[in-house]
Amino acid sequence: MEKTNTTQRVFNLKSQTQVSLDELDQSQPFWVHLDYSEAHAVEWIEQAAFLSETVKEALISEETRPRAQFFGSGLFVSLRGINLAKSAKPEDMVSVRLYITENCVVSTAHRRIFSVSEIAALLNQGEGPKTSSQWLVSMIEHLTDNMSDTVHFIDDKLGEYEDSVLTGEQTSFQSELANLRRQIIAIRRHLSPQREALQSLLHDKNMLLTSECKHQIRESLDHITRYIEELDSCKERAAVLQEEINVRVGQIMNDRMYVLSIVAAIFLPLGFLTGLLGINVGGIPGTDNPMAFYIFSGMLFVLVVAQVIYFRRNKWVN
């Protein structure tokens, strides 16, 4: 598993400016992103008076699953996204933990999350979210959008394998297909609870999210639902494709065994006759005849021709 430390990011959302933790004005909307594996990040979280003990534990927890839960006037959300690092496997999804109130956003992660970098870039350009609810919507949209390429890649790759099998070009990609099926299962397993988490956000009890924000979240929810449906379809297609490959491989093996059986059937009587005449006892016919070998070879040839004719008449061979 790749362990790329995330960069600490501290922004004043209202002014769209990046500041240090010491310069942070908590009276204005702000965003703090930390690597929960670093000591100074854990220390800052533990000393944050506006965070409850339950929220602090959730922000620095190693293991978490997608969920949304209200704590007092705040909202804790745990989400997952596709790992877009070059050497990473897509199914090895990255997680981000978020705590949001009307005035603040605190997010934590360990590995690099491209969605965090994308939002930070927007803020540096003065085009980022200005409120905590807008920030949450932006994070959900970026995480969801970044999934589309992976889902479409899986669908396209599966289509290539199907074309290869249907055209009879090759069936030698069983290991690649198995890896693709593992990706589908892993990503699907994480997207299902993420869909439930987004559905929970639509029932905001603390009025943190405006109707416009809920509408945008609903659109992201529709995208995730479509991704889940596409992955379910890909899973079924991959299973059918695997069965087709197994049938093709089994047919190839049967054809080869059939050819070997025909060859064995032809040479079995030939071997019996040559072995019978090769025994070292007296009375072998043709011993003193100089033409005996040629006569015997001709008899074997006639026997082979007769066997082939017999096999063809019974449609054992084409």
Query: Is 318 a member of any domain?
Result: no
What are the structure tokens assigned to 278, written together? Answer: 């090769």
Do 200 and 77 have their domain in common? yes
Query: Smallest Cα–Cα separation from 55: which of 90, 101, 94?
Result: 101
Query: Is 56 a member of any domain?
Result: yes
Final residue in a domain of this structure, among 248, 276, 291: 248
Do 61 and 176 have their domain in common? yes
Do 241 and 283 have their domain in common? no
Query: Smallest Cα–Cα separation from 109: which of 223, 225, 219, 2?
Result: 2
Helix or strand holding residue 108 (H, E): strand 104-109
Report angle CA 91, 42, 20 to the nearest 5 degrees: 100
Predicted pLDDT at 171: 61
**How buried is residue 80: exposed, middle or buried, by Cβ count under 10 Å (0-12/13-18/19+)?**
buried
The pLDDT tens digits along the chain (318 residues) read 334 444 688 999 989 999 888 888 888 999 999 998 898 889 999 998 888 899 999 999 887 889 998 887 889 999 998 887 777 776 778 899 999 998 899 999 988 888 999 999 999 999 999 999 999 999 999 999 989 988 999 999 998 888 888 777 666 677 888 888 988 998 998 899 999 999 988 886 667 888 899 999 999 999 999 999 999 999 999 988 888 888 888 888 888 898 888 888 888 888 888 887 777 666 677 777 788 888 888 988 898 888 888 888 888 877
Query: Is 4 a member of any domain?
Result: no
Q: What is the CATH classification number for the domain harbouring 74?
A: 3.30.460.20
Model-level pTM greater than 0.85? no
Query: Is 3 a member of any domain?
Result: no
| Burial track 243-261 (b if 16+ CB lie within 10 A, e otherwise) | eebeeeeeeeeeeeeeeee
Final residue in a domain of this structure, among 196, 223, 248: 248
Final residue in a domain of this structure, among 197, 222, 248: 248
Do 260 and 244 have their domain in common? no
Order of strands, sheet of 9-12, starting from the edge strand that comes earlier in the sequence: 17-18, 9-12, 30-35, 104-109, 94-100, 74-81, 67-71
Number of domains in the chain: 2
Terminal-to-terminal C-alpha distance of the chain = 55
Do 154 and 283 have their domain in common? no
Query: Is 241 a member of any domain?
Result: yes
Query: Is 174 a member of any domain?
Result: yes
Give me the domain span that covers residue 29: 9-248
Q: Three-class SS of residue 67?
A: strand
Do 176 and 290 have their domain in common? no
Predicted pLDDT at 2: 38
Query: Is 2 a member of any domain?
Result: no
- Reported as half-sphere exposure (CB side, CA atoms, 13 A), residue 230 has a value of 20
Helix or strand holding residue 33 (H, E): strand 30-35
Whether the Cβ atoms of residue 46 and residue 55 lie closer than 8 Å to each other:
no
Do 181 and 290 have their domain in common? no
Query: Is 153 a member of any domain?
Result: yes
Do 167 and 273 have their domain in common? no
Q: What is the CATH classification number for the domain harbouring 286?
A: 1.20.58
